[in-house]
Chain A
Amino acid sequence: MTEHVVPRSIYFLIFAILIVFTAITTTVAYLDLGVFGPVVALTIAVVKATLVILFFMHVRYSTRLTKLVVVGGFFWLGILLALTLSDYLTRGWRTYG
């Protein structure tokens, strides 16, 4: 059995970062960043999620297969979003003469 035991200190470190990011994202919501508001909020969310996946869920220490499964899952979500938006974002282009 090969199993990587992650030291507890890492868990506490990640936890601290997550809490800090939560504080930042809430604070930033009160600033007027224009179109960058959602971008910042989502970037922070992605970073937080990645940390949880890599460390709390041990993916950093897992097999290539596990990594592939994780990436694959989000990639497929990307397909769903991107191709659907290819419709929504180009609908306005159509002009009826």
Chain B
Amino acid sequence: MLSELPLFPVGASTIAPQVDALYLFMVGLALFFSVLIAGLIVYFAIRYRRRAPDEIGVAATGGLILETAWSVIPLVIVLFIFVWGAAVFFAMARPPADTLTIYVVGKQWMWKFQHAAGQQEINELHVPVGRPVKILMTSQDVIHDLFVPAFRVKADVLPGRYTTLWFEATRTGQYRLFCAEYCGTKHSGMTGWVYVMEPHEYQAWLAGGVTGSLASSGEKLFQDLACNTCHLPDTQGRGPMLHNLFGSTVLLATGEKVVADESYLRESILTPRARLTAGFEPLMPTFQGLVSEEDVLQLVEYIKTLKK
């Protein structure tokens, strides 16, 4: 039975060794201090046990040096840990420039992943090994949280906005995927598997049984929702031209500048008047309620492919 007793999780991402190193350092530190304190207590308790019923302890004097020492030393230690921990955290928070983006919508109680090539999967995620992957996440109802222990990453998935999480898998294999934020009755059933594959296997998998890419579904929606009546492939439309929009800096009517990232595109579709583009009338109707989060993701992916 002991062979079934795992004590340490496998690590399968570039960030995992960094987290583990920090963790093991902390374990060492914790061991040191607990053993120190426990050892001193036991030693003092035996050495200075009460030998006569009316015995009295010897009051100590002049503790200032000691007090300062044990205030300053822990302070230095924790500041060191802080810097180290923050460095790892920053590495987790900032995806590298060139990532493979996969979309996920969380809903009570399942994960729906969509690959740019059009593959959709539920509670399963296929990714290539050795390539940074960014997951762009949103929720249709309550807060969920995507957690892959083997990668040592997790991030909350919120309704009404995009959050991201990234990792680069280093080992092929099959790893557990959990929902880590309590989300209601079947929270513990909102689990699945991540399959890390060799790049060519991943390509083959992507090619299998797909009806159309995410962008092409988005394109279809773009026509069905009549977006193309205003957004023309040139500057003649009532709305701004969307080519080369993604990643560019947009000048707003208020004079502010924003980078057109996924969150901006999403907002432009759902609440167009919140941030008006300079030089345009607030003509665009809101599509809130008309499109699902998955539709929005398809539209976003389509707009991202519009290049000139």
Contact = CB atoms under 8 A, between A and B. Distances in A.
Interface of A: 94-97
A97 B136 CA distance: 12
Interface residues of B, number: 13
Interface of B: 93-97, 99, 134, 136, 164, 259, 261-263
A97 B95 contact: yes
Contacts of A96: 95, 134, 136, 164, 261-263
6 contacts: A95-B259, A96-B136, A96-B261, A96-B262, A97-B94, A97-B96
B105 to A, nearest CB: 17
A96 B164 CA distance: 8
Nearest to A96: B164
A70 to B, nearest CB: 31
Nearest to A97: B95
B98 to A, nearest CB: 9
A94 B259 contact: no
B99 A97 contact: yes
A95 B247 CA distance: 11
A17 B25 CA distance: 63
Contacts of B134: 96-97
A97 B93 CA distance: 10
Contacts of A97: 94-97, 99, 134
Nearest to B263: A96
A29 to B, nearest CB: 21
A96 B259 CA distance: 10
A28 to B, nearest CB: 23
